[in-house]
Structure 1
Amino acid sequence: MTEIYSGGCLCGGIRFEARGEPGNPHSCSCRFCQQHSGALTVAWVEFPSDQVKWLSAGGKPSIFRSSDYSSRAFCPACGSSIGAIDDAPTIALLVGSFDEPGAEALKPLSHSFEDGCPRWWQPRVLLD
């Protein structure tokens, strides 16, 4: 049976379902992620774009072109960060936007750009 992960933004204007096994579960502290989220570290998982469905009446999230290969996705009503829509057929979703962010399959297994964290903020990624 295919696993279905659902989530959305703060106001509910953007809702999604992602099907299958989350790929590349990781946390990141790069400057793009920090500015996109307002947090020093974010957690991501990736899905093939054909496995993500936008369910709400608001349709797809708004996007901002953040690099030569990706656009950051957010709710146009409440401003919640949702993820990143890459030119490759991949959508990276922020773990905090899922209805059940504590699901084991969403747990980060690595940390990117750890040097982007201030010395006083060193997230602990548990690699069981």
Structure 2
Amino acid sequence: MTSHLEGGCLCGHIRFRTTGEPGFPHTCSCRMCQRHTGALTAAWVEFPADAVTWTGPGGAPAVYRSSDRSSRAFCPRCGSSLGAVDDAPVIALLTGCFDKPQLKALKPASHSNRNARPRWWHPEVDA
């Protein structure tokens, strides 16, 4: 069991600490994720909003309202993408933002929006 995980943006201005187990570890190739991250595939994990504490000197990240149910989170200083703040209330954090992204608890279990990826791009997700 993971008691807490930590991570943050490129410059360290925005930092976070999570409690509890990450949920729905997955990758996604939808156009919104591609544009948000600049990558063809994004890796995500979700937490209830009350399980994420913004601990860095910058406090909570800046957000951009990207859909009718979610906002994309980023550092206003360095521009790093951090995740999505959903209305659910859920915070989905990009796996690469964690200090230890190699942890098994963050390993994607599924891939969303396969049809949006280029035909030549085939990310592997082991179950």
TM-score over 0.5 (shorter chain): yes
Identity between Structure 1 and Structure 2 (%):
65
What is the CA–CA distance in structure 1 between the aligned matches of 2:18 and 2:82, rounded to whole Å?
A: 13
What is the CA–CA distance in structure 1 between the aligned matches of 2:115 and 2:88, rounded to whole Å?
A: 27
Question: 1:56-95, aligned counterparts within 5 Å?
Answer: 56-95=56-95
Gaps of 5+ in 2: none
Tell me the equivalent position of 1:33.
33
Tell me the equivalent position of 2:103.
103
Deviating above 3 A after TM superposition, structure 1's stretches of 4 or more consecutive aligned residues are: none
Cα displacement (A) at 1:120? 1.1
Q: How many matched pairs?
A: 127
- The superposition leaves residues 92-121 of structure 1 with CA deviations (integer Å, 9 ceiling, x where unpaired) of 000000000010000000000011111111
Q: Tell me: CA distance 1:2–1:28, structure 2 relative to 1, closer, same or farther (3 Å).
A: closer
Whether 2:51 is the aligned partner of 1:51: answer yes
- The superposition leaves residues 36-56 of structure 1 with CA deviations (integer Å, 9 ceiling, x where unpaired) of 000000100000000100001
Cα displacement (A) at 1:2? 5.7
What is the CA–CA distance in structure 2 between the aligned matches of 1:2 and 1:80, rounded to whole Å?
A: 25
TM-score after normalising by structure 1: 0.97
Aligned residue identity for 1:52 = V
Aligned residue identity for 2:18 = A
Aligned residue identity for 1:60 = A
What is the CA–CA distance in structure 2 between the aligned matches of 1:117 and 1:32, rounded to whole Å?
A: 12
Tell me the equivalent position of 1:3.
3
What is the CA–CA distance in structure 2 between the aligned matches of 1:50 and 1:63, rounded to whole Å?
A: 17
Aligned residue identity for 2:59 = G
Aligned residue identity for 1:44 = W
Gaps of 5+ in 1: none
Tell me the equivalent position of 1:123.
123
Helix, strand or coil at the partner of 2:32 = helix
